[in-house]
Structure 1
């Protein structure tokens, strides 16, 4: 490398550098002594770069040495006196030396008398293989041994290591008028988004032995203990060697490394097509493909053949050819390509000391060509074209046919997604690539990625039929992002294609269910058994499932878990078209009633531990509204009234006794919390207690006697209307009978004499003013919707004192039979209820959905299509409006 006699090639190289590389021209002007030697045709030895000045700060010394090295290596390269191996070796050796100096300096500054042990830098990438770029960054992993790391008194090892690491990076990256030493990228360390800059060596070993990603295995082919405590670093590499070099012929490694290559082969990205702007590193047929070709074969065969474990790319190609693993001609072709591409890459980087890999365009391309010694940019392209073409052809040969799988090639993947129904293919491609890249914890293992690939085609096909495929894929993305592990989830979908299709339908059409899955993906497990799409069991059976032998908190969590599973399965039944929404609605109510039973018992027992019980008294829970009628939707809250039997002046018998009124009010508060407050297992129900006597101004719980007196003497018409759907959902048979007897007497006429029809008309008008329909499909609040039907039914019940049944459908039937409602009202009730139950899942905003969801709604309510659905809704609303008008018309007479 040293030339002590005149060499005209150096003079020519300096002239080209001065004319076409501003960065090199700047260094020539700032290093006049070296410039003078070069212009005299003499290349100073690289060893002469070292600055022996103990008084100079280490950072500045390294910056000056790097500047001089950049000049000598560049001119030697341009003159043809330093080949690629010499250039990259000199750059890598300097990087090692700089990293060593930075580590020693950082430790010495903090602990001057301590030996620089317990802290090591593992070089990855091109530094690890002694192939560093002219203007490259370095990608070290910084590790420490807590037992031997020097640290200050009362300082934790982790804190000391992070401070050392930060100082190392600062010393190398700091810029001033003399430039910088090295760019440092620490993102190749395990889980960089969550881990500190320096890691304990044992933690790093655990990571690589248990959860490292496929690309990390390939990265460690070129790993090397480069600086700091070399013995510590080498011990780490020896320990994780089995992670990199597996003895079994691991043909799965092809798939692992192809995943990286495919993400780089982005045919939409600038720099893929050969020509001006071509990315020498990432482009098709570029440097990365040479490296990956070698690494794929190294990973497959290197576990059994140690001779293949060469870090440097050209050395690896030679070893593979010598061992008969690849064709020798292909090895020579790839090696020549690598040399040519890396050489021109260095030319591009010499111009402005930028970490770029792309050929420039226009006049700038001509300038690069002239820096290399050619006349024009097209000559440079002619020089590179055969190498790029050969590399692309050779690399393509190891890409197996993807068959029916989703392509890893961006162009083909985008076409597949477009064919599936995705308009925003760019966003969808990004999501798929993010999953394949192991960005989420659940997708970091090879097993999870393999399971993902197996199920992706079916999922994408299902999501593509969504009204908004982009929103659907975002919901799937949210779910995957929250999963601690996706292997079982994905294998389940792979084993059950019908379940994968159902998941796609849920994500596509049912936002509430999709959001629930995003919070708790295990909900899908409940659909494994085909019986999950059957009607839920009886209240007693459900309560048995919800019962838990643990403490009170465990019981709260267990009920939420079971309720979540049951409500999710019920919603899935509608999406799958497996159940009548009327049956689903009743199922929702049975699930809620079972939860009330279980949580009321548990809350009473928990409350009694401190306050005992009130003798001769018990809690009664009265449900009204949709819960009272036993017909909930997915979004329904629970309208509850708390009552208690016995003497209101009695007192509990516990260690901390309470009067009956206070006792049951506090107990009611506890039960409301048990039913509504979110725990670690999630939320349960919203509880509405505003229908209690005196509303929000009254106590939360009242005695049965007080309730009876209020209803007989003070309740308003709207409260009696609400009472028509009252039903005891918790309490002993005797207490339930006593409560229902009070209600029956009130509904039968033991109540104030009021103008029911006038009151109802006024109330409905006020409701219409304050709660207008949310959209054209609001089958509840629109004129002629379910609210109008409820008003008409309740008025007819109260006026005629007949047809009382908490279930609205049966109440309608009784009124029809008695001649107080038109014959078509039961069908109207059923259609409106089916529509509301379905829309709460698939169109909660009551707006017109997309055609695919329209078909789902029509199927759910038992009609052939969307036009028939709209026609039936219009006809039904007209009939209900007429019924309600007839009620008011009679009042007008």
Structure 2
């Protein structure tokens, strides 16, 4: 193979190590047809020489081939580091196989595995990298001599493999091996039993060890064993609940590095490309921090290579595309220059030379004119990385004063009504007044987060009220460390928290029960609409393989998180309450669908199935209409298809009626019984045939017969918002057809308007409005609107869709209802959804909260909102009166 004169001149001038290899491996270079070769085959030493000698020769050939390809511009950084990493995997595996063969000839290399951490794990090795494996063994299958215990055999195998790789002779060495990343290296053997390692990472490992396992791979020996270990500790690495303590730990590592390598922090000759401010380590930590925070919830971020991680973080919106591009470009350049440094003498160095002549040689090796050109090339990238990382790390916030008087003055300056009262509350927190604040770690986390937290509370319309609600929340928390670390890391979250605490008692109460709900707000998509029913169901099914009880808890976690996020959208002004109402309904429908399927399967394990039959669940009320509030219960009717006289085919058979009644009881419990993960929904089944006096479940045939022959007008009005949400497509179609026939007129003829008028008057006597802003029960509110719509639907057979807004639009389009009822419906629904969050008692909210409610209603200010409410109530009252008195065409 021929090389350009310029390339060889650069190598000869800049790298004594490569120059020696060129001379020593002249025959090898002559055999290479080009750079695009199978490297492992090309570098193979062959022959009958001992393995250690083979690997040393192969290592220097890999180093030479990759270096020349790199300097020639043929191999990019990815190919360089991948090739070097592949060789390390190959060498480590062969060393382990040989070590086992030496002690137990003919034995398979089972029961002993190497987990690569660091740059080998992410396929990012440089020319002179150590490798950092963790060596594990399975005592039950490890090959060993009869006199050896498993522990003795594993250590001997490990020592022999390490010796084969790092012993030096005239051919050099293969790899330096660093085993200090194993658990407690000062006290543990160099090879660990797999169960003990799993136990350590589940219970005692430190946050930095989580970061290390982002880049872990099973690479050598019994790879299946290694992968089993990595799968076992996956929950330790990727936690669904965000752990901002890990950020503090990694920040502290950076600070210690900057202090320990102080001489390499200032940019210029002697600058440490790896550990210096704005260097390689800060790019890696920047990516890993975001991966640790978000990777537990987003598997797409669990990528080991640094540049791949940056790209994934940008794609998912966790970092900006500009940040990703800046970090990627800097990392590529830093790693490339790092390789130039290591090419010179095959030394594990990361620092630019202090001496000008040595700096010149590195610059020339990279194709630059001199050392100044190299520094000029690096400088803007170092500054950019340092700036981005510093924003992540944040300057140490000025702590709040400890002196009560000074603290009170600071609070009053920030806008708190009573600085003295606020100072007393904070003093109580600092003193560990509540269980969540009694540990030193909790108080340290509190102290770190207090500056940002108080600043966030100060942005509320009523900072004092926000502080008092936070106090009430802290009083009920079992633990607060992670909350404070999260608020410290995310100042914007502190401001949003103050809004919730000050203006949304419903959400504040949810937070007091489960502070982990705040984790959801870190997700970039938290303030976006929730997904489709299918997407939500898929998310809820993520734990379907963990058993029925775990699934119940997981569904509750997802539902509570989604409901909280949707409520925050209203309070934060990022979501239209109409869209939020639809989101609430999609979440509930997905939960019913998932829990129904799981309950059916769990029930069938004991009682089998009823042949030719299935459970059908009908949604009515707000769920049927696809517009729930934060506090809505679920109106459900349970039916089943097939012969009511049939019997199930399980080990403990039941008749169909008893079978489905017990199954429905199980499903109701799954939806409504509170578990450790909190409540889910209240379930109301009183709309079933014969109401609370009737059986919980009826056959579809019985349901149809009841609706056609015995149901009251109010039941037919409720049926107008019924739709099947559980069952096979055929079963749901059959149920929908029954509903359509009944609503279309296949029912007893009655004076619908007269009966509805009597019902509404009776309801008004027994259930008055809760307050002046009770959007549902106030005269001219949603109940009057619903009565007007349902009476019109039943009287005319038109507009028969369960979604109330769409039904109004259809009826208004045919002239059967006034056109202004659709915007009236939208306004009242927005009011209902928002009031459930900010003033669930129906009373007028505080002056500080009124602008939030007005914005949710689409009004410029509070007086405009009240004026619009009066207009809407008048429109609805007029329309309902016309229908009730028969003045609206077609209602009698």
TM value normalised by structure 1: 0.54
Say yes or no: does 1:472 pair with 2:466.
yes
- Residue among 873, 877, 884 paired with 2:880: 884
Out of 590, 603, 611, which is 1:607 matched to? 603
Please tell me whether residue 519 in structure 1 is matched to residue 513 in structure 2.
Answer: yes
Quick check: 1:682 aligned with 2:681? no
* Alignment pair present for 1:632 and 2:628: yes
CA drift of 1:674 comes to 0.4
1:829 paired with 2:825, answer yes
Mapped partners of 1:407, 1:544: distance in 2: 49
The aligned residue for residue 869 of structure 1 is: 865
- Give the CA deviation at 1:776: 0.8
Partner Cα distance (2:462, 2:754) in 1: 47
Measure the CA separation in 1 of the matches of 2:610 and 2:812: 45
Whether contact under 8 Å (2:462, 2:848) holds in the other structure is no
1:535 matched to 2:535: no
**What's the offset of the Cα at 1:436?**
1.3
- For 1:769, the equivalent position in structure 2 comes to 765
In the alignment, which residue of structure 1 is the partner of 2:483? 489
**Alpha-carbon shift at residue 800 of structure 1 (Å):** 0.8
Equivalent position of 2:454 in the other structure? 460
The correspondence of residues 106-505 of structure 1 with structure 2, limited to 5 A, is: 405-444=399-438, 448-464=442-458, 469=463, 471-505=465-499
Displacement of 1:407:
2.6
Q: 1:509 aligned to 2:507?
A: no
Q: Alignment partner of 1:553: what SS?
A: helix
The whole-number CA distance in structure 2 between the counterparts of 1:580 and 1:427 is 37
Cα offset, 1:469, TM superposition: 4.9
Q: CA deviation at 1:531?
A: 0.5
Whole-angstrom CA distance in 2 between matches of 1:877 and 1:418: 43
CA offset digits 1:16-58 (Å, max 9, x no partner): xxxxxxxxxxxxxxxxxxxxxxxxxxxxxxxxxxxxxxxxxxx
Q: Is the 8 A contact 2:397 2:451 kept in 1?
A: no
1:820 equivalent in alignment to 2:822:
no
Match of residue 618 from structure 1: 614
Backbone CA RMSD of aligned residues: 2.2
Q: Is the CA contact 2:456–2:492 (under 8 Å) kept in the aligned structure 1? A: no
Cα contact 1:620–1:728 (8 A) shared by 2: yes
User: 1:607-649 CA distances to partner (integer Å, 9 max, x unpaired)?
Assistant: 1111111000000010100010010000000000000000000
Deviations 1:131-186 (A, max 9, x none): xxxxxxxxxxxxxxxxxxxxxxxxxxxxxxxxxxxxxxxxxxxxxxxxxxxxxxxx
Residue in 1 that maps onto 2:841: 845
Q: What is the SS of the residue equivalent to 2:859?
A: coil
Partner of 2:593: 597
For the pair 1:706 / 2:702, whether they are aligned, the reply is yes
Q: What is the DSSP-based 3-state SS (H/G/I as helix, E as strand, rest coil) of the residue aligned with 1:531?
A: coil
User: Which stretch of structure 1 is more off in the superposition, 694-703 or 451-460?
Assistant: 451-460
Q: Distance in 1 between matches of 2:818 and 2:869?
A: 17
- What's the counterpart of residue 567 of structure 1? 563
Q: Does the 8 Å contact 1:467/1:849 carry over to 2?
A: no
- Matched with 1:206 is none
SS in 2 for 1:532: coil
- Aligned twin of 2:780: 784
The residue aligned with 1:753 is 749
Cα distance change of structure 1 residues 464 and 849 upon mapping to structure 2, 3 Å threshold: farther
Counterpart contact for 1:475–1:515, Cα < 8 Å: no
Deviation at 1:445, TM superposition (A): 5.3
Aligned counterpart in structure 1 of residue 690 of structure 2, from 674, 694, 714: 694
1:852 alignment partner, SS class:
coil
Return the alpha-carbon distance in structure 2 between the equivalents of residues 465 and 495 of structure 1.
Answer: 18
After TM superposition, give the deviation of residue 464 of structure 1 in Å: 4.8
Distance of 2:704 and 2:529 partners within structure 1:
37
Larger Rg: 1
Gaps of 5+ in 1: 1-209, 211-249, 251-401
Measured in 1, the distance between the counterparts of 2:411 and 2:880 equals 51
* CA contact 1:546–1:595 (8 Å) conserved in 2: yes
Partner of 1:578: 574
- The answer to whether the 8 A contact 1:757-1:891 is kept is no
CA distance in 1, matches of 2:441, 2:744: 68
TM-score (normalizing by structure 2): 0.54
Deviations 1:450-499 (A, max 9, x none): 44334334433444565765553343224334445433322222222211
List per-residue Cα deviations over 1:857-891 (Å, max 9, x = no partner).
01112111101100000000000101101112326
Flag the 1:467–1:755 CA change in 2: closer, same or farther, 3 A: farther
Q: Distance in 2 between matches of 1:467 and 1:517?
A: 20
CA displacement, residues 89-126 of structure 1 (integer Å, 9 cap, x when unaligned)? xxxxxxxxxxxxxxxxxxxxxxxxxxxxxxxxxxxxxx
Partner Cα distance (2:677, 2:703) in 1: 35
What secondary structure is seen at the aligned counterpart in 2 of 1:650? Answer: coil
Q: Secondary structure at the match of 1:654?
A: coil
CA contact (8 A) 2:686 2:692 kept: yes
**Equivalent in the alignment of 1:297:** none
Determine helix, strand or coil for the equivalent of 2:848: helix
The answer to whether the 8 A contact 1:479-1:518 is kept is: yes
Structure-1 residue corresponding to 2:715: 719
Q: Check whether the contact 1:465–1:508 (CA below 8 A) recurs between aligned residues.
A: no
Q: Distance in 1 between matches of 2:771 and 2:452?
A: 34
User: Aligned to 2:773, what secondary structure does the other structure show?
Assistant: coil
- Kindly tell me the number of residue pairs found equivalent between the two proteins: 495
The Cα offsets for residues 356-400 of structure 1, whole Å up to 9 and x where unpaired, read as: xxxxxxxxxxxxxxxxxxxxxxxxxxxxxxxxxxxxxxxxxxxxx
Match in the other structure for 1:553: 549
Provide runs of 4+ in structure 1 moved above 6 Å.
none
Distance in 2, matches of 1:778 and 1:485, equals 37
- Where does residue 77 of structure 1 map in the other structure? none
Instruction: Note if contact 2:457-2:498 (Cα within 8 Å) is conserved in structure 1.
Output: yes
Distance 2:650 2:414 in 1: 66
Instruction: Report SS of the residue matched to 2:526.
Output: helix
Contact 1:465 1:852 in 2 (8 A): no
SS in structure 1 of the partner of residue 589 of structure 2: helix
